Amino acid sequence: MDSPIINNIFSCIKLNQENERAIYLQLSDEILILIKRGQLTTGQKLPSTRDVASLLKINRITVAKAFEELQMQGWLQSFVGRGTFVSSHIPEFEPKKLQNEAITKAQKIAGFLLNEKQYLFNSYFVPTAEFHLDDGYPDPKLAPLKELYRAYRNQLTRSGLYYKFGSYGSPDGSGVYKEAISHYLNETRGLKTTFKNVLSVRGTLMGINLVCTALINPGDVVVSGIPGWQRAEHNFVHAKAEHIGIPIDEYGLIVDELRKICKRKKVRMVYVTPHHHYPTTVSLRIDRRLELLRLANEYGFIIFEDDYDFDFHYNHRPLLPLASADENGMVIYCGSFSKSFSPAFRMGYLAASENVIKHLTNVRILLDRQGDHVLDNAMADLLNDGTVQRYLRKTLTIYEERRNHFCNLLYSELGNAVNFSIPDGGMTVWTEFEKSINLESLAQKAYNKGLYFSDGKLHTYPTYNANGIRLGFASSNKEDLTKSVDILKGLI
């Protein structure tokens, strides 16, 4: 080898025969690192393939392939009769010490500025505890997963594959899915829609974000109840809207407060969860429902109706949505299958006037060319053959039994430490703890013992702090609910 320095540099190269990455690619990676470190400089002649092979005890053809790889990328140049050189077209690199090859500065911190202050901090936590009193999730063990798998597989084997997989479809969603959703909403919720009134989205959050992007301008007034859903509120703030919170009582949104705001300000949108208010689960009373619709007609604001768990009401039939009584196209209705199937399945829909759907579709295409038409079509099959309806009837009975069991446990085991009302529907019990109990500390101690529940910070506002949390019962069987309450009892 011509240079003892180059000899020493190449002798430091380590190759792993057991690594899944091919040896020639490992070698090309190592040579590239030497170039970027400045140890091999622009115009530097490399040892011959024979010499490198001898030094590293590998096949000469392997070295040749590594050199060819770097030549194709432009890092090396080869000249007949002269040899292989570091390309003269790359700039000089200043020598740098890489303390850890696996974690470089570029992997940790970008070289450009981030406008992080433009977004409020959106925390999330993925629990791994054995027991859980969650935010109101369904039990995936009860979901018709086999039927969904079968329907999805059928989509992959039926005719017309080019139109399913060979090109893009409509950005507003699969026509079959939109037809099925329209029929489903008309039959179960009393809406009066056609497929032209439906837009497929990947869940409620996407629907809220899309509406904020398409219909809310900076400075617009958006009103919602306090306490409320922080994810929705952050979307309002990001849209640079003026967000105004109004109180919630045992009958839902206090619509009289909304009327006062309308007299002072031009309200653009009101966000409501009238069937079971998030987080307190109370239902919006009929007189307030009618007054909310009347105010929307009088003052011209949008009602965004988030009906996140319509299908689960235990004491009587579910209250029909505001959208079912909307005669002037003031309501944008949003629903999803996250609460009936699983949060893992991102399937939802918006229902609104045709011109609204067209406008939202035009904006949606900039964010997501189209949804998952294959999954949507599979869900349409389950709606059309009655699988979803049968599943909901079965789980309604099971979830009601779990609600009753859980509420009995809270009453008998936790005594005066908690205050709650048995919810008419939904999958959670809004539970207020004694003020002396620190929920953040309690949640951490419970998690250490294998039980997850919220620490309540998401439901705390400058003007509201009931020391309350949502304790979900639907995703746990009776035995697990009993063990969960036992853990809580031992900590309080």
User: Who wins on pLDDT, 26 or 8?
Assistant: 26
180 to each of 194, 322, 331, 392, how far by Cα in Å?
Answer: 10, 21, 20, 16
Mean pLDDT of 6-33: 86
Q: Is the pLDDT of residue 385 over 80?
A: yes
pLDDT at 413: 92
- Radius of gyration (C-alpha) of the chain in whole angstroms: 30
Of the given ranges (109-123, 172-186, 254-268, 423-437), which has the lowest mean pLDDT? 109-123
Q: What are phi and psi of 154, to 5 degrees?
A: -60, -35
CA distance 171 to 174: 8
User: Who wins on pLDDT, 330 or 91?
Assistant: 330
- Nearest CA among 427, 485, 408, 445 for reference residue 138: 427
pTM of the model: 0.79
- Identify the top-confidence range among 42-46, 79-83, 401-405: 401-405
272: part of which helix (H) or strand (E)?
strand 267-272
pLDDT digits (tens, 9 = 90+) for 118-145: 677 777 677 788 899 988 888 888 888 8
Confidence class of residue 105 from pLDDT cuts 50, 70 and 90?
low
Mean pLDDT in the chain?
87
CA distance 341 to 391: 9
Interior angle at CA 387, CA 199 and CA 475, nearest 5: 85
Side chain identity at residue 195, one-letter code:
F
Quick one: CA dihedral 127, 129, 134, 139, positive or negative?
Answer: positive
Mean pLDDT of 339-357: 85
CA distance 22 to 67: 14
pLDDT at 222: 97
Domains in the chain (CATH in brackets) are 4-108 (1.10.10.10), 131-136+391-491 (3.90.1150.10), 145-389 (3.40.640.10)
pLDDT at 7: 67
141 to each of 54, 129, 247, how far by Cα in Å?
Answer: 60, 17, 37
User: Who wins on pLDDT, 150 or 401?
Assistant: 401
Q: How many CA within 13 A on the CB side of residue 157?
A: 6
Q: Is the pLDDT of residue 166 over 70?
A: no
Structure tokens at 297: 């007609």
Whether omega for the bond prior to residue 227 falls within 30 degrees of 0, making it cis, is yes
Structure tokens at 186: 């008309």
pLDDT at 377: 85
b/e burial code for range 418-444 (CB count within 10 A of at least 16 → b): bebeebbbbbbbbbbbeeeeebeebbe
Q: Is the pLDDT of residue 390 over 60?
A: yes
pLDDT at 6: 73
Structure tokens at 424: 């008419």
pLDDT at 183: 93
Contacts of 378 (CB under 8 A, 6+ apart): 148, 151, 152, 154, 155
pLDDT at 55: 87
Mean pLDDT of 346-365: 91
- Report the 10 Å Cβ neighbour count for 145: 13
pLDDT at 216: 95
pLDDT at 102: 47
Of the given ranges (29-33, 219-223, 225-229, 312-316), which has the lowest mean pLDDT? 312-316
